[in-house]
Amino acid sequence: MKDSYLTAGITIGQLFRLLNRNKVAFNAKTLLRLAFLLQGACWSSLFSLIEKARFADTLNNVKVPDDPVFIIGHWRTGSTYLHQALNLDINFHAPTLFEVAVPDSFLVSYPYYRPLFKRLIGKHRPMDQVEIGMDEPQEDEYAIYRTTSYSPLERLVFQSSENYFLDNETPFFPPADDLEQWKKEIRDFYRKLNYKSGKRIISKNPFNSFRIDTLLQIFPKAKFIHITRHPFNVVPSTVNMWKILGKQNTLTNHPVNPTVEEVARFLGKLLNAVEKAKGDLPAGTIAEIRFEDLEKSPVSVIANLYTQLNLPFSSGFEERIKDFIKKTSYYKKNNFTLKDDEKRLIGTELGLYFAPT
């Protein structure tokens, strides 16, 4: 799926809301993308109606889980690796690519979409060698974007500024009048995940780094895992990621690629937000790990993580982690070269958190 996959799967109503409040560049590329989105939205809306007819009464009696575990932290910190590993715990269920791609109908539409997904989805993510598949763990921000039509991803798809779409004006919540409905949509999505899996939800979503207080209002027993990685790896890799995703998903003329300075500044903002929120969290609610440690000793780091969060760590889970390590041993990380002035810039922006090497 090479074009508009961030928005594909949205229903007609939500797509029109996005189009109504954003400008679109009408050229051959964007018209093709709009046609793809419109036909997909028709199917999503149809399946959504079928799902509501079949499951509305049932889901009304399903509990909204109050104890998800949220993996937070910046992009390119190894959060996907951690998410995949924790999903091997039989007590957890990670939202899948399919569930976040068609959040309004995944209970009924799976067998119909499965052949299409096999044709459209590549073997790896567009920015690296991480395998993807419709049943693999995926960020739930994509579901939030589709079900609520309020997400910073909107600013990536409909770029209207020459600045980084995650600049200081980026909203991580809808306008105040829409906030309660936004929360409800998130509750409903997690309710459906709970109904389908019956397991504790393990989420990975960098945007949630700015939503800790609000998530605790929605899920009072939630726990958080904050993963970090040295910025000399995070920053250039993030620049590359947004460059690729912007090019493949924008509905405007020219995607704006962030600079090293902009990404480093935003990384500092994210770390400040997490640090601030940590002070109000009770013991056993949040744990922090470094990707460098996780990469060296996955089993011991995850076992310690479970101890910090008072989660049961089983021998069976340990064996599945070891098998996962063998399975992913082929994976080669992207390598990026930073200039000396870029390293100094990153060190200036993030000196409080990382010592440049």
Q: Rounded to the nearest 10 degrees, how much is the dihedral formed by the CA atoms of 54, 57, 58, 60?
A: 140
Q: Considering the domain boundaries, does residue 71 fall inside one?
A: yes
Kindly report, residue by residue over 252-275, the tens digit of the pLDDT.
Answer: 987 889 999 999 999 999 999 999
Rounded distance, CA 36 to CA 15, Å? 12
Given a contact cutoff of 8 angstroms between Cβ atoms, the answer to whether 87 and 202 are in contact is yes
Above 60 in pLDDT, residue 355? no
Q: Which domain holds residue 184?
A: 12-350
CATH value at residue 187:
3.40.50.300
Rounded distance, CA 251 to CA 25, Å? 6
Q: Considering the domain boundaries, does residue 47 fall inside one?
A: yes
The confidence score (pLDDT) of residue 350 equals 86
Cross-strand bridge partners of residue 69: 202, 223
| 259: DSSP letter | P
Sheet holding 200-204, edge to edge: 92-93, 200-204, 69-72, 223-228, 286-290
Q: Considering the domain boundaries, does residue 4 fall inside one?
A: no
Structurally, how many domains does the chain consist of? 1
The confidence score (pLDDT) of residue 95 equals 97
Kindly report, residue by residue over 184-212, the tens digit of the pLDDT.
Answer: 999 999 999 999 999 999 999 999 999 99
The confidence score (pLDDT) of residue 349 equals 86
Rounded distance, CA 47 to CA 67, Å? 29
Kindly report, residue by residue over 316-348, the tens digit of the pLDDT.
Answer: 999 999 999 998 877 667 778 899 999 999 988
Rounded distance, CA 156 to CA 246, Å? 6
Question: Which residues fall within 8 angstroms of residue 140, CB to CB, at 6 or more apart?
Answer: 95, 100, 189, 203, 204, 205
The confidence score (pLDDT) of residue 126 equals 58
Q: Considering the domain boundaries, does residue 203 fall inside one?
A: yes
At 30, the amino acid letter reads: T
Rounded distance, CA 40 to CA 117, Å? 12
Confidence of residue 357 (pLDDT cuts 50, 70, 90): very low
Given a contact cutoff of 8 angstroms between Cβ atoms, the answer to whether 37 and 10 are in contact is yes
Kindly report, residue by residue over 210-241, the tens digit of the pLDDT.
Answer: 999 999 999 999 999 999 999 999 999 999 99
Q: Considering the domain boundaries, does residue 32 fall inside one?
A: yes
Given a contact cutoff of 8 angstroms between Cβ atoms, the answer to whether 34 and 157 are in contact is no
Q: Considering the domain boundaries, does residue 357 fall inside one?
A: no
The confidence score (pLDDT) of residue 286 equals 96
Q: Considering the domain boundaries, does residue 6 fall inside one?
A: no
Confidence of residue 58 (pLDDT cuts 50, 70, 90): very high
Q: Considering the domain boundaries, does residue 45 fall inside one?
A: yes
Look over the chain and give the mean of its residue pLDDT values, rounded to a whole number. 91
